[in-house]
């Protein structure tokens, strides 16, 4: 039975570390907004008639 408790403790530790990293990313990283310009060729917008 101690092996099961050790395994569950290891799983809980890994989940806690992942949760702490995600929380740190949310708190300390601020995204920057920027405009994105995508040029579309006119052949795709107005295909030539055949």
Please give the pLDDT value at position 41: 83
Greatest C-alpha distance within the chain = 76
In tens, the pLDDT along 1-50 reads 689 999 999 999 999 999 999 999 999 999 899 999 999 887 777 777 76
Please give the pLDDT value at position 31: 87
Please give the pLDDT value at position 48: 72
């Amino acid at each position: 039975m101690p092996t099961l408790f050790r395994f569950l403790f290891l799983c809980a530790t890994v989940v806690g570390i992942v949760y702490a990293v995600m929380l740190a990313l949310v708190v300390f990283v601020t995204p920057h907004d920027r405009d994105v310009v995508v040029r579309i060729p006119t052949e795709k917008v107005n295909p030539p008639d055949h």
